[in-house]
Structure formats: C-alpha cells, structure tokens
Amino acid sequence: MKKQYDVVVVGAGTAGMAAGYFLAKQGVKTLLIDSFDPPHSNGSHHGDTRIIRHAYGEGEQYVPMVLRAQHLWEELQQESEETVFLKTGILGIGPEDSPFMQEVVKSAKTYNLPLEMMDNASVKQRWQGFEVPEGYIGCFESSSGVLLSEKCISAFRKLALCQNAELWTNTRVENIEFQPNGVIVETSNDRVYADKCIITAGAWTGKLLKSLNIPLTPVRKTVAWFEADEEKYNQHQFPGFYYVLPNQMFYGFPSIDGSGVKVGRMDGGKNIDPDKVDRSFGIYQEDEGELRSFVQAHMPAAAGKLKVGKVCLFTRTPDEDFIIDHHPDYPHVAIAGGFSGHGFKFGSVFGEILANMTLGKKVEYDLSYFRIGRFSGAEPFSGRELKKY
C-alpha cells in the first residue's frame, strides 16, 4: 500500500471532479481516480453542451440546489477565466395540462423565479424556428442557459490540481474494500488507503456497489447536430429548449458558432452494460431517426443534413430522482449517482454537497428525496415511479 489520502474520489466526471476541487480547496489531501481521462467521451458529460434551467419540472425540491449550482458555475467561470456558461435563456414548450409543465409553473411561483408564459402563437411569433400546436404553452426563463459541459470539467480539473489534488487517469478501480474507519481502493495498478471515500462512478456505480443492489440502469442515448437556418437558430437569437410531447420529451440547443442545432431525447434509450456498449452512432435506425422526426415536425428549418451524431450514457433510477447519500453501513463513504439524464446542471453543487458530507459539515439542502433507502422498502419512493410528461 503505497499512498494514503484523506479522501479518495472514485470517478472524476461531473460530480467527482467538482468534489475534488471543493475538497482540495479546503486543504484536504485528495486523490481522484478515473477509468478514462476527463473530460472524455465514455460517460455522461461529453457532447459540448448541457441545459441549466431553474423552474424545475421534475420537482420543486430541486430548485434550491439548481440555484446554488448556477451561482457556483458563474464562480467557476470567473475563477477559471474560462467561458462555461452562455445565458441564452431556456424555453419550455408543452401541453398546458402536462404535469411536467404544471410543475415548472408551480416551482417558479414557489421560489419567485422569472418565468414568462405565452401561448403557442406568441412562441411562434417570437421564435420562428418552432412549430407549436394549439393547446401548447411556452415557459421562458431568461436567466437560464447553456453550460459548456466539457469546459466545465476541464475548469474544475485545472483548479483542483492547482489546489494540490492528485488525479489518476486511465486507471480502473477493480474493488473497494470498506473498513470501519476507512477504505482500501484497489486499482489496475495499485492499492491506496483513504480515511473517507466518495463514489461518483456514473454508469459503473452499480457495479462498484453491487452488494447494495441499488436499482441503477445504464442507458445508451444519442444526440445529433443538424444543419439549420442560422438566422433563426443562432445562439444570439434562439434559446436552449425542452419540448414536452405525449409520453416523450426532447431537448436541444441553438447553433453555437455555426455548430448546427443539437437535439436529444430525455426518455427512451437502450439498457446496456457500460463495459460492452457500442458507442458507434448510427448502428440503430433510431439513433438519428427519432431525433430527425422530431426536428422535421417541430423545427423544420433545422432539419438539414446531419453534421455530427454522438452516443452518451444515462444512468436511471426507478423514480428518476438522484442518489445522494452515505453508504448505509459505512458513513465515511458518500455516494452520488443515478442522475437520470438531468444531473449535469447540478454538477457544481454536487461537488460542494459531497465535500461537505465527507467532511461532516452541514448540508443546506433537503436530501431526503435522494436516499438510497427509498428503494429497499425501508422508505417510500420520493415521488414518481415513472415520470409523466
């Protein structure tokens, strides 16, 4: 056993890299270990961009965390001197009676968030790139926008290393031995001891914590960039968006510096083993097909030639709420995962929360919704067993 640390972070992606920064900033001897070299294309943070929205359709319990996340992203931007956030605004479109849209409106009212509501005609008049059916509404958040996801990871990485965090890249964790007062982490090359541990391993979290039998489902998802009318869809004219349809939800981004309009789908996807998934875009007809069908129907001036297609991974829980908790048997181990396709925007605040949990400091948010025990029968589900759009 060559080295000892105060905290070892297993998985240096979205939450892990941020946690490493917040720990190292406080003088904690921190080791981050990742199977790849973040930012990379094997997890859930690549593909250039992520939406950050504040009026939260998944539940108002998320709003305090996302507002803090917004503040921390802006701090990161200032401290790193790297652009990580574009204030494009975020537009939500969906049926007026959609539970998701109703929750957006409710959370905005509860927290006094700026939310401009409009009917379908007003949406089409303001953003001519959209087709919006009768009975649909628009909810526009001018203070929200787009995170440049890989730049976010790179910025946290740079700052963490400047604060003397240690990062082992391309190093696979083979086993974690939990002890009463610490952990032994066995990698493909070494064994290390740490007093405390944070596990944020994305699609591999379930494998590393197999004994806990957490119902985590890795899912193969795709995103695509399409040639578009740049006058209508450029980042200075067009917002980031989500579009709620019956039993479906799509999301997308303006054409940033001529990249084309990027579109993805929140629901659906193929359940996979992250060690065996085929990451080649286009091997299934629906890789491009379902995204193009949405664009043709609802954003026809953006239904041009496919410019780029990419594969990423979601890791879903049964209720699509996160896991943020201590290990049930080892309180010196913190676990975060199951972000279910909507976690990246919280990455900055996840890092702060996990650092505070690990150091025994007060956490300012109600984490009862995100306990592991809700899946064991010991506690009720936090809300939706199946998300309803």
The pLDDT-based confidence of 383 (bands split at 50, 70, 90) is very low
For range 300-312, the mean pLDDT? 98
Residue 176: CB atoms within 10 A of its CB come to 20
- Give 205-250 pLDDT, tens digit per residue: 999 999 999 999 999 999 999 999 999 999 999 999 999 999 999 9
Residue 75: CB atoms within 10 A of its CB come to 11
For range 303-319, the mean pLDDT? 97
- Give 103-127 pLDDT, tens digit per residue: 999 999 999 999 999 999 999 999 9
The pLDDT-based confidence of 37 (bands split at 50, 70, 90) is very high
Of 259, 261, 265, nearest to 311 (Cα)? 265
Q: What is the pTM of this model?
A: 0.96
- Give 152-170 pLDDT, tens digit per residue: 999 999 999 999 999 999 9
Helix, strand, coil abundance in the chain, percent, nearest 5:
30, 30, 40
Domain boundaries, the chain: 93-143+217-316
> In whole numbers, what is the pLDDT of the chain averaged over residues?
95
Choosing among 3.50.50.60, 3.40.50.2020, 3.30.9.10, 3.10.129.10, the CATH entry for 93-143+217-316 is 3.30.9.10
The pLDDT-based confidence of 382 (bands split at 50, 70, 90) is very low
Residue 213: both structure tokens together: 């039998």
Is-contact 294 247, C-beta < 8 A?
no
For range 307-324, the mean pLDDT? 97
d(CA 262, CA 234): 11
Under the phi-then-psi rule, with left for phi > 0, alpha for psi from -120 to 50, and beta for the rest, what region is 327? Answer: beta
The torsion of the CA quartet 180, 13, 143, 124, rounded to 10 degrees, works out to: -130
